[in-house]
Structure 1
Amino acid sequence: MAITKIHAIKSTLGKALAYIENPDKTDGQMLVSGYNCEPQTASIDFEMTAVLAHKTRNLKRKRFTNLAYHLIQSFSPEDAVTPEQAHELGKKLAFEYTGGKYEYVVATHIDKGHIHNHIMLNAVSFYDYKKLRTVPYRTARQIRDISDRLCMEAHLSVIDNPQTIGQLYPENAGKKKSVSNRTEIRKRLNFCLERATEYSQFLSMAKGLEITPTIRGKHMSYLLEGAGRAVRDNSLSDTDTFTYAGICARLSDNAQEQKYLRKTITGILSTATGMADFADKLKTAGIETKVKKATGQVLYRATVLDGAWVPEDALGSEFTSKGIEYALKNGKMQIAEDAEIMLLDRYQELTIQYPEVCTAAVKLSSRQILSAGKNGLVLQVHDDNGSPAKLMVNKSEVTTSPDGEITFNVGNDFSYDLVYEDGTHGTIRGTKLIQQIDEENNVLPLAVVLTEDQIKTMSLRGVTIALPSKGIERLFIPEKYVVCNAANGQCAVSLYQNHQYSYIPTSGENKRNSIQGDQLAAILGVAINPSTKNTTLSRRIAAVERRMGIENAKNLGKVLLGMTSENMYTAADYDKAILSLGKKQIDLTNKISAMQEKRKEVAAVTKSLQICKTYKSVWMQYVELPMSQKSAFYSGHRTELQAYSSAAKNLKKEGIDQSVDLDKAIGFTEQLERKIEETKEQLRETNSEEKKAQQERKKVLDIQENHTIT
């Protein structure tokens, strides 16, 4: 299997590319490949894509922006991987991680005891000109999972005998998962980095949040009060976010963004007539806003700077929601005179405090496990829409019992990366994954009979439970997990032990909490056969059943009317309609794929036009020189001349003249992107129609078989 890591490149991109493409390390550059770029001129290709991004999205260029990301994939000496095979795995990893929307160069080094790939990814997409966004740990995990799965599919370190899985991960048995100090340090540092504009301010805020930063050599370390041990910068993120250079770059961006936002918002407030007018003028000025539901905090973002989201409190009290309302009402801005709030208290107030990671131990069966390797398992799962996908599970999340029982420790609040058959990616929340695996393996839920005082409301959708003494104001159980018996006055719910149930707390906090199924069952009390009959509850259940009967009758009437209007009377008629919708889905999917490929081709042509426009003067200067001076000039401008020559050949191959208006080419790509989005919307509507037809078909079958519709 392979080890992966990634870090950002902020400068000297040309030197980094020259290093990874070194002929002495890459078999004379036979093991060097470029995607949508020439390896020898990749630095210019990357730069031209960034230039087009700023033109197309009307962005201002930043001084310390990321130029590229350097990804390293190192193979174990124990794996019988050839240089050519390693190179192909590197290309697959880069393509799958970027979705084929970012330029990259893959270079396989064979000069050391282990074969390893160097992959240089452009930080800007040539397809839609968006930045490659990375998230600490999540990005590293995603890349590692893709690499591990590709290695297993290539039969590197694969366990062929399923019976040996039980002895594969014994060191993980009985491990207890918990939130680490790194997680809390990272959250607190991010809180500072969202607000600070100077290094001294960052240090002061960090200390206010009980973190002591220290520079040791070329690394920074961070000590959380009471932790006992400092954490190094490169163990907090897969990029340079928390290094000294990364922090300084972020603070510089913050200063530029906050200054721009303050100036623009102040100007808008001087002319805005109300909140609606203020919001409209923000959009016109290229300032996006959003509200954090959990805290009610407003975030601003300057699209012209392609910046990060800036919290309202970072701009000053006059830019908070209360400050904006005051300015609109009184015609002037005013700094609040409230007593200063301690920074740690503000952090606690404005940061979503997730509960400690509750790891649910979910038992796996052979139906879920596709393959196993030294680094983990590949599972067959489904996304929220029921589409099949693969999920890579790291060995640190797998435990085995002496009898070979395999358990997957799932984080309820984690997002897991999925990959579909076509190579595209999606995600699934841990809670959904737990529910899916349990139901596939026919795990029996706990049957809990509710007492009347535990039931807050009953409806056709389900039952709302209230347990004020336990801090639960409202907890909803969907109808599919509820069984009511009006005759006996009983209402029972099915609770899965590993599932997380969301509830609104009695404390009045503006956020939801969650509780594990087995804990909820213990609070409610498992009572399958209560001794007394509850007549009041019987009447409530009967009332719901009457409403359900009326609702079912209405739905049946709608179905019958729809069947008549569409000339569909049997399940076979619906089968034809569903088949037709399926064909339409395939046609739309193929149409989207074709337009996306065309979009890539147009983007490549646009970049070639930009390169020719930028370096034509250098080329003409070279052409006009006497033969005796050409060699020296070429040596000094090799990369620019090669880039121009390659771009000119590409345009000639496509039959496009260099005089084509660049703005028109950019406009065509935007038009094509709008058509792609319109077709995607048609596909979503077709999917909805198919689901509706499937549901109506089921009801028709119930009618044909004389079943009662419930």
Structure 2
Amino acid sequence: MAVIEFINGKNSTLSALERVLKYIMNPAKTEVGLIGGYNCVADKAYNEYYMTKAEYSKLNGRQYIHFTQSFAPYDKVTPEMVKQIADELVQMEQFKGFQIAYAVHTDRDHLHTHFVVNTVNKETGMKWKQSAEQLQMMKDYSDEICKKYGLIITQGKSGNHVNRGEYRSKEKGHSWKYELYLAVKKVKWIARSKEDFIANMKTLGYQVDWRDTRKYITFTNGEGKKCRNRKLYPPEHFTKEALLKAFELNSQRMDAKLSRNKMEMLLSAVQLVKMDDPLETGKNYPLSTLEGEALKEKIEESKKGKGLNWDKESENSM
């Protein structure tokens, strides 16, 4: 999979902004079909960035954010595919209102995309801010996009490939927001109603504030940390409407007993992680530890002796 890396540089002057935009669109490194613009026209990006900054009287300070999305030499990707992945990445909620010029570079043995973000939001005038959690969510979102293209995980500039468990522990580490994302994602396909969803999330240690009078759902973990559903990616999968539609489908295809059994299996798997982890490195992040094949293995382990019938359940439901 792709590696996201932010590039620090002398980005406090308009001349530096102009240089970096020229650099990423250098015809010796890319070509017209591999250049894109989000909320801007790429070849007019400098003027458009300047106009936004001037409109909000924010011509001073940091002028741009520069980051790359890189693929290993052995990744089976084409320049066009890398451009498509970049097109999807800039659709993140985090980038809403920001102008981004980007280009796929083909002059190295590994394909990579350069992104240059205007630090002033075109819609709000607010300046760019990014927390450690938001950075991790960007990397996770990049992973999700790449998974659709069947790409393996890469780690660091060297492009060494590792299994997903190693990647999560070394590259990502444990993120409370990512743990929440996994919880919501799994319970979404177990719950048969809004009330069922809230109850199931509670058993996993989360409080859910879902009110008809509020646009967003707020999740609170056991440590009191809060996150709204619009911060989960891709956000359109976790809107109230998307969740209610999933509950309706769940209700149509499985009865209450099977729904309870599925939740019991998930809880049993989580408990097994905690029991098998004497150092408690994953105690607060059991679902992150249980990603992919690890979850299936724990589910199978937890099924032994319980006599619960999950044979007809599809992998997608978990």
Superposition CA RMSD, Å:
4.5
Q: CA deviation at 1:413?
A: 6.8
What fraction of aligned residue pairs are identical, expressed as a percent? 23
SS of residue in 2 equivalent to 1:66:
coil
- Structure 2: where are the runs of 5+ without partners? 154-162, 190-200, 212-220, 241-261, 272-282, 285-318
1:48 maps onto 2:51 in alignment? yes
2:64 alignment partner, one of 64, 68, 77: 68
Q: CA deviation at 1:149?
A: 1.0
Aligned position for 1:418: 232
1:3 maps onto 2:6 in alignment? no
Whole-angstrom distance in 2 between the partners of 1:156 and 1:369: 26
Q: CA deviation at 1:45?
A: 0.6
- Structure 1: where are the runs of 5+ without partners? 55-60, 159-166, 179-356, 371-380, 388-409, 427-436, 447-497, 500-710
Whole-angstrom distance in 2 between the partners of 1:425 and 1:5: 29
Aligned position for 2:287: none
Whole-angstrom distance in 1 between the partners of 2:114 and 2:130: 18
Q: Is the 8 A contact 2:50 2:59 kept in 1?
A: no
Q: CA deviation at 1:102?
A: 1.0
Cα offsets for 1:541-587 (capped at 9, x unmatched): xxxxxxxxxxxxxxxxxxxxxxxxxxxxxxxxxxxxxxxxxxxxxxx
Whole-angstrom distance in 1 between the partners of 2:133 and 2:36: 27
Aligned position for 1:150: 145
Q: Is the 8 A contact 2:106 2:112 kept in 1?
A: yes
Whole-angstrom distance in 2 between the partners of 1:103 and 1:62: 15
SS of residue in 2 equivalent to 1:139:
helix
Q: CA deviation at 1:36?
A: 2.5
Q: Is the 8 A contact 2:99 2:118 kept in 1?
A: yes
**TM score, norm. by length of structure 1:** 0.25
1:103 alignment partner, one of 99, 118, 130: 99
Q: Which amino acid aligns with 1:116?
A: H
Whole-angstrom distance in 2 between the partners of 1:415 and 1:86: 34
Whole-angstrom distance in 2 between the partners of 1:5 and 1:30: 23
The number of aligned residues is 204
Alignment of 1:232-243 (within 5 A): none
Q: CA deviation at 1:80?
A: 0.6
Q: CA deviation at 1:77?
A: 1.9
1:441 alignment partner, one of 230, 244, 266: 266
Cα offsets for 1:516-558 (capped at 9, x unmatched): xxxxxxxxxxxxxxxxxxxxxxxxxxxxxxxxxxxxxxxxxxx
**TM score, norm. by length of structure 2:** 0.52
1:140 maps onto 2:144 in alignment? no
2:121 alignment partner, one of 119, 125, 128: 125
Whole-angstrom distance in 1 between the partners of 2:6 and 2:234: 24
Structure 1 residues 21 and 420: CA distance shift in structure 2, 3 A = closer
Q: RCO (CA 8 Å, sep 6+): is it higher in 1 or 2?
A: 2
Q: CA deviation at 1:92?
A: 1.4
2:23 alignment partner, one of 19, 25, 30: 19
Alignment of 1:440-459 (within 5 A): 441-443=266-268
Q: Is the 8 A contact 1:26 1:107 kept in 2?
A: yes
Q: Is the 8 A contact 2:53 2:59 kept in 1?
A: no
Whole-angstrom distance in 2 between the partners of 1:71 and 1:30: 20
Q: Which amino acid aligns with 1:2?
A: A
Q: Rg bigger for which structure? A: 1
Q: Is the 8 A contact 2:141 2:234 kept in 1?
A: no
Q: CA deviation at 1:76?
A: 1.8
Q: Is the 8 A contact 2:38 2:90 kept in 1?
A: no
SS of residue in 1 equivalent to 2:33:
coil
Q: Is the 8 A contact 1:69 1:120 kept in 2?
A: yes
Give structure 1 regions of 4+ aligned residues with deviation exceeding 6 angstroms: 170-173, 413-416, 423-426, 437-440
Aligned position for 1:344: none
Q: Which amino acid aligns with 1:441?
A: L
